[in-house]
């Protein structure tokens, strides 16, 4: 089994012993694990106070990681979304649906009391299965 870290150049360095993304090669496919993405830019700043802007930023980061791994949203099989205010679901859901389109991965959405970076209102992590390149 072969693993490879995915670290896009435009991303902030990790804050600990983890990767932004990781691929695990199987016989004819690869698993792509994307660590929870928050709305923090390369300099470590929260990109906006607006939940919709944060959500788009997070999904764009996920898109970059998936693409760097040779995958896309069509390959996502599991998504986990964490919100600091469950009332934001009505604003987050349409944006989430834009990115996933018809792929419809299994999904979990929960409210949490806080995220690792103060001011972040959403965190999303995904798992994808893509063809081995």
Residue 20 CB neighbour total at 10 angstroms = 22
Q: Is the pLDDT of residue 19 over 80?
A: no
- Measured at the CA of 123, the angle between CA 121 and CA 129, to 5 degrees, comes to 160
> Which of 21-25, 26-30, 82-86 bottoms out in mean pLDDT, i.e. has the lowest?
21-25
- Ordered by start, the domain boundaries in the chain are 2-131
Fold of 2-131: 60s Ribosomal Protein L30; Chain: A; (3.30.1330)
CA distances from 62 to 27, 28, 87 (A): 25, 23, 23
**pLDDT at position 111 over 90:** yes
Residue (of 82, 92, 91, 89) closest to 117 by Cα position: 82
Three-state DSSP class for 71? coil
For residues 108 and 6, the model is more confident at 108
The pLDDT, as a whole number, for residue 8 is 72
pLDDT in tens, 47-94: 999 999 999 999 999 999 999 999 999 999 999 999 999 999 999 999
pLDDT at 20 over 90: no
Q: What is the pLDDT of residues 50-63, one digit of tens each?
A: 999 999 999 999 99
């Amino acid at each position: 089994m072969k693993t490879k870290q995915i670290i896009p150049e435009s991303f902030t360095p990790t804050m600990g012993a983890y990767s932004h993304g990781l691929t695990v090669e199987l016989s004819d496919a690869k698993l792509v694990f994307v660590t929870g993405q928050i709305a923090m830019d390369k300099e470590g700043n929260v990109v906006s106070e607006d939940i919709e802007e944060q959500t788009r930023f997070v999904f764009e980061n996920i898109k970059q990681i998936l693409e760097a791994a040779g995958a896309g949203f069509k390959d996502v099989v599991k998504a986990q979304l964490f919100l600091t205010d469950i009332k934001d679901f009505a604003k987050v859901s349409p944006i989430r649906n834009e990115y996933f389109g018809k792929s419809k991965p299994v999904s979990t959405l929960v409210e949490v009391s806080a995220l690792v970076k103060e001011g972040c209102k959403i965190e999303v992590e995904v798992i994808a299965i893509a063809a081995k390149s």
